[in-house]
Structure 1
Amino acid sequence: MLEDFPFYLGLIVAIVFLIMLAEKIRVAYPVLLVLFGLAISLIPGIPPVHINPELIFIIFLPPLLYEASWAISGKELWRWRRIIGSFAFVVVFLTALSVAFVANHFIPGFSLALGFLLGGIVSPPDAVSAGAILKFVKVPKRMSSILEGESLLNDASSLIIFRFALIAVATGQFIWADATLTFFWMLTGGVGIGLAVGWIFMTVHKYLPTDTNTDMALSIVTPYVMYIAAEEAHTSGVLAVVSGGLLLSSKRYLFLSSSSRLRGINVWESLCFVLNGLVFTLIGLDLPEITSGLGDVSVSAAIGYGLLITAVLIFGRILSAYGAVITTLIARNFITVADRRNPGMKVPFVLGWTGMRGVVSLAAALSIPVQLADGSPFPQRNLILFITFVVILVTLLLQGLTLPYVIKKIGLPDVDHPDPEQDEENAIRREMAGHALLHLQNKYSEQLERQPFLRQLAAKWADKSQLRVEEDLAKEVKDVYLDILNQQRNWLLQKNLAEETLDEEIIRKQLKYLDLEEEKLLFI
């Protein structure tokens, strides 16, 4: 392992340059990284790469899910909960069912249980790929929120299907009563353990004398504790990380200092940057090992099976997207839905075309045991691995490269935010400045008369001019300014909750600005 260290070090450097290249040529970096891994795997003398599925599940998955749960808007997640829930659970199940019947009918030696196993593996779209692509094109906020919310939950639902199918293949039977109880425990237990661990860490952050460094160390440990605790309890580690991450994200302003919040953004962005780069490169690097295990099945036949399953996934997701819209249009006559407007025929197609597969699918396929309990080889394991690789590669290349063009060609209006983002941001700033000025004048009128710095603040909020900070500020002035910053922070949080269609990204920008203002006081 030590002699291969320079290779892996060079791999990280190459990943950094490829991601920069992807930004320059405006291509989603997972596409370039998979092709890069595929290319160097064919070079003679390259050290063989064996991907341990436990490495991906334990090392990679918890932090990536945790960071995503902090980045997503909880308000948007709740607003679009019905369609997110339908895509994350109902569509994943229907996709696995479709793959099971197609594989059973067209692939020799595939039973329905094996088909469900394959369906559970390839059913969840990859959030990282979609997110990387959507950076280059503007899509309505509701669509990005739905995709982000779906990606947080579909990994859990697909892995639950995968586990049930694995038991059915290994034992040759499927007991519905046991499966129902297990499914209920995996859902409730995963969420419960995630919330409990999140509450414990939040209490530690809040009541123990932590500083920025210890906050960062605790934040990195948190998703691993959530995941491992849930898995040890035989429930869903994915749901534990997601639910715990959402809890801590929503309470971040109660237990983290401004320094820790600002440092956390940089730490987590850098950590996930490296993890995402490595995992997509490893997907390509693993091809020789996958191909060598095909045995009696020819490579051309295996590629054909992979393309067949890919077609089922693509068309199935598009049909599901249209089905979800039709269901919503019918349901709005009987129940209150998040939006009663007809989204048209363009939005479902784009939503259906965002079904790139990635790391979770590969990790699940690799986690299939080599042998059954009786010592016999696990049926079709190598073919399932190869089909999974083909699905990942084709969806990344076909959908990943064409999605920006499809979005630009179709043109999706943002009905929730018709005004430019800068206009919305400026309006929020004006309202926030007016709120701060009113608070300063009403509560600190006496200090306002005798402190020049506070008069500068009042002038700044009155005419939106830039403030020149004096070198030395009295403690009284700092206390007043901190109180005003907290008032502005609370006002922003309340406004975000009160206005359903307000873009939370704008609110978060202003909250970050307030954290930066608070940081400045440490050096004055």
Structure 2
Amino acid sequence: MHTILPFLLAMIAAIVLLNMWANKLRIAYPILLVVAGLFVSFMPGLPRVKINPDLIFFIFLPPLLFEASWNVSFKEMKKWWRMIGSFAFIVVFFTALSVAIAANHFIPGFTLALGFLLGGIVSPPDAVSTGAITKFVQIPKSTSAILEGESLLNDASSLIIFRFALVAVGTGQFIWQEATLSFLWMVVGGAGTGLLLAWIFVQAHKRLPLDPQSNIALTLIEPYFMYWVAEEIHCSGVLAVVSGGLFLSNKRLIFLNSTSRIQSFSVWESLVFILNGVVFLIIGLELPEIVDGLRAEGIPLRTAIGQGILVTGVLIAVRIVSAYAALIATLVFRPGVLPRARSNRRRWFMPLLIGWTGMRGVVSLAAALSIPITLDNGTPFPHRNLILVITFVAILLTLLVQGLTLPSFINRARLYESFPEEPEDQRRQTMKHGLKQHSYQFLRQKYGNELDGHIGLEKFLKKWEERAKASEDNWMNDKTKSIFVELLESQRQYLTELNKDPKVDEDLIRQQLYQIDLEEERLRVV
């Protein structure tokens, strides 16, 4: 323990330094993480870390998926559900099928079952990588919403394919009738389990006398519990976490107070950041042993890298073709549901942009590491080391090639300029203006008789926007404070109703709700 603890602390410190370096270089930190993982594999003297493959999914996936579902905009997902659904299910299956056929044809000894296993691993684009890269460039809100929603659901669909392929490889057979029933149970049972447990957790948050620390601790338990229960009844733990996370995200204003929401945001952001970094460094620590395994199987490393490049090319090509196929199909069959475009250039460049954002990341890596070392009969799992190398190569190439070129691609093509949207500052000012009008009317209607002659309330009404900058707070007595808290709750209700308008950006709503939470916290120390 005394030996491994300094090493673990050094890993976390390295992750922090890499993130600082990435921010300075203005590139996404997953790009440096995957390069660091490769660099670690060449460093002599480092311990070779071995993690039980059965624990990989359970340790890493639940919190990563839960945090992603907590932050995604459910309103935007409903708005673009056709595009999101096609990419999250149809395109994922088409990608897995294409990888399976290519692997079966070009990789010696690869069966279709192994090909589908590899396809299920590498088919889902990574939400963290995409979000970290696109934060340095401006992209249309519709594209951002599609990418966020797709990245959340395609993890679930691809991992279901992975599970079925794993069974097929282990048993050597695949019965369609049983697989269909099992698939339906995994989907329906997983989503239902997640929603039921999420409702129970909401009631626990509301009814138990929990302080902010206990609330946050409970949110850390929830994704693991959802995943575990769903897997115990043989349905999809991934879907349980996703559906439960979406439900809890939409109820957060009901069962979490402002303190819990503010503190949980920082806790979860830090946890996911560390988990992402640890997975990339773990693969770096395991790469030497993986390479040794390849050599023992008689597979040259150069050959494995070449096969990884082949699979990566299939991934990129299939995603771009699928994006254009989805656009053409929509133009033919459902032109009315297409997003409005001010020019044909915008419409025909959008699929290319979506197709080029298919960076792979931590979910694919965790899935590959979770492959068992041996089959149930004790024989080594076929081509496990080769699958790990191909997965790492696919992640490395998509992050380096697509990740590094995506910002330049968007800027040089002037995609955003060709279809201008209302500037975010203008949308934010419009929302704040409506919020100020609502606040003024709320105070006038409910406390109009008390305003006259009350110095504190009059000052609050006239200068409530500058209250955080005030040099003295002696005007904030108990009466003013209670009215202020009531006003903040009224503002939350106003923003919640405003969010029902499909034209309103939910990200701006959430930012303003966070500011209201901070304002309420400031009152606690006044």
Establish whether TM, by shorter chain, passes 0.5.
yes
Change in CA separation of 1:179 and 1:326 when aligned onto 2, cut-off 3 Å: same
459, 479, 483: which is aligned to 1:480?
483
Matching residue within 505, 508, 513 for 1:506? 508
2:411 to 401, 408, 422: 408
Matched residue type, 2:286: D
Residues 463, 474 of structure 1: alpha-carbon distance in 2 compared, 3 angstrom cutoff? closer
1:420 aligns with 2:423: yes
1:123 aligns with 2:99: no
1:319 alignment counterpart: 321
Residue 376 of structure 1 corresponds to 379
State the partner residue of 1:240. Answer: 240
The aligned counterpart of 2:145 is 145
Pairwise CA RMSD: 2.1
Cα deviation, 1:111-141, whole Å, max 9, x if unaligned, reads: 2122111111111111111111112111111
Partner residue in 1 for 2:12: 12
Q: Distance in 2 between matches of 1:58 and 1:210?
A: 26
Trace 1:13-412 onto structure 2 (pairs within 5 A).
Answer: 13-294=13-294, 295-333=297-335, 337=337, 339-341=339-341, 343-412=346-415
**Could you tell me which residue of structure 2 aligns to residue 442 of structure 1?**
445
Paired AA for residue 382 in structure 2? P
Q: Pick from 485, 503, 519: which aligns with 1:517?
A: 519
Equivalents in 2 of 1:77, 1:88: separation in Å? 12
1:376 and 1:517 map into 2 onto residues whose CA distance is 61
Partner letter of residue 348 of structure 2? M
Asked if the contact 2:46–2:285 (Cα under 8 Å) also holds between the matched residues in 1, the reply is no
Counterpart amino acid of residue 506 in structure 2: E
C-alpha distance 483-468 of structure 1, shift in aligned 2 (>3 A):
farther
Question: Greater shift after overlay, 476-485 or 402-411?
Answer: 476-485
Note the C-alpha offset of 1:477: 2.4
How much has 1:380 moved relative to structure 2? Answer: 2.2
> CA offset at residue 466 of structure 1?
6.2
1:437 and 1:462 in contact (8 A); partners too: no
- Helix, strand or coil at the partner of 2:50: coil
Kept after mapping to 2: 8 A contact 1:434/1:462 = no
User: What SS does the aligned partner of 2:415 have?
Assistant: coil
Change in 2 beyond 3 A, CA 1:270/1:363: closer
C-alpha displacement at 1:172, in angstroms? 2.1
What is the CA-CA distance between 1:51 and the residue it aligns to? 4.0
Instruction: Report how far residue 416 of structure 1 moved.
Output: 8.9
Output the CA distance in 2 between the equivalents of 1:311 and 1:473.
63
State the shift of 1:318 in Å.
0.7
Pairwise CA distance, 1:462: 9.3
Go from structure 1 to structure 2 and tell me whether the alpha carbon gap of 1:180 and 1:493 turns closer, same or farther (over 3 Å shift).
Answer: same
Q: 1:178-212 deviations in whole A, cap 9, x for unaligned?
A: 11111111111111111111111111111111111
Check whether the contact 1:460–1:467 (CA below 8 A) recurs between aligned residues.
no
Shift of 1:519: 1.7
Determine if contact 2:54/2:372 at 8 Å carries over to the other structure. Answer: no
Alignment check: 8 A CA contact 1:30 1:396 kept: yes
User: Residue type matched to 1:305 in 2?
Assistant: Q
- Taking structure 1 as reference, are residues 442 and 39 closer, same or farther at Cα in structure 2, changes over 3 Å only? same
Quote the Cα distance in structure 1 between the aligned partners of 2:44 and 2:201: 48
SS at match of 1:413: helix
Shift of 1:378: 2.6
Summarize deviations over 1:260-285 as a string: whole Å, max 9, x none.
11111111112222222222222333
CA contact (8 A) 1:140 1:415 kept: no
Question: Contact (CA 8 Å) 2:18, 2:29: kept in 1 or not?
Answer: yes
1:491 positional shift: 0.7
User: Do the aligned partners of 2:374 and 2:380 also contact (CA within 8 Å) in 1?
Assistant: yes
Residues 328 and 340 of structure 1, relative CA distance in 2, 3 Å threshold: farther
Deviation at 1:149, TM superposition (A): 0.8
Q: 1:317 to 1:423 in 2, by over 3 A?
A: same
2: distance between equivalents of 1:4 and 1:225? 28
Match of 1:492 in 2: 495
1:472 is displaced (CA, Å) by 5.6
Partner Cα separation in structure 2 for residue 265 and residue 380 of structure 1: 41
Change (3 A) 1:151 1:469: farther
Q: What code does the residue aligned with 1:380 have?
A: H
Separation in structure 2 between the aligned mates of residue 496 and residue 270 of structure 1, nearest angstrom: 28
Distance in 2 (alpha carbons) for counterparts of 1:250 and 1:125: 25
Q: Which amino acid aligns with 1:105?
A: H
Give secondary structure in 1 for the equivalent of 2:337.
Answer: coil
| CA displacement at 1:464 relative to structure 2 | 10
In structure 2, the CA distance between the partners of 1:415 and 1:266, relative to structure 1 (3 Å rule), is farther
Q: CA deviation at 1:338?
A: 5.8
Tell me the amino acid that sits aligned with residue 368 of structure 2.
Answer: A
> Which shifted more, 182-191 or 512-521?
512-521
Secondary structure of 1:444's match?
Answer: helix
Q: Which blocks of at least 5 consecutive residues in structure 1 are unaligned?
A: none
Change (3 A) 1:371 1:47: closer
Task: Name the CA distance, whole Å, in 2 between partners of 1:187 and 1:119.
Answer: 19
**Aligned-pair CA distance for 1:225:** 0.9
- Separation of aligned partners in 1, 2:10 and 2:468: 49
Structure 1 residue ranges, 4+ long, deviating more than 6 angstroms after superposition: 414-417, 462-466
TM-score (norm 1): 0.95
Identical positions, percent: 56
- Give the aligned length: 521
Cα deviation for residue 415 of structure 1 reads 8.9
- Sort the Cα spacing of 1:513 and 1:297 in 2 relative to 1 into closer, same or farther, 3 A: same
- Tell me the SS of whatever aligns to 1:523: coil
Looking at structure 1, the residues matched to 193 and 304 of structure 2 have their Cα atoms a distance apart, in angstroms, of 41
Q: Which runs of 5+ in 2 are unaligned?
A: none
User: Which stretch shifts more, 49-58 or 314-323?
Assistant: 49-58
Partners of 2:453 and 2:269 lie apart in 1 by 44
Q: Give the C-alpha shift of residue 465 in structure 1.
A: 11
Q: By how many angstroms is 1:412 displaced?
A: 2.4
Superposed CA offset, 1:308-343 (max 9, x none): 11110111111111111112222324xx52625464
In 1, Cα distance between equivalents of 2:137 and 2:496? 28
Counterpart of 1:470 in structure 2 is 473
CA distance in 2, matches of 1:80, 1:474: 48
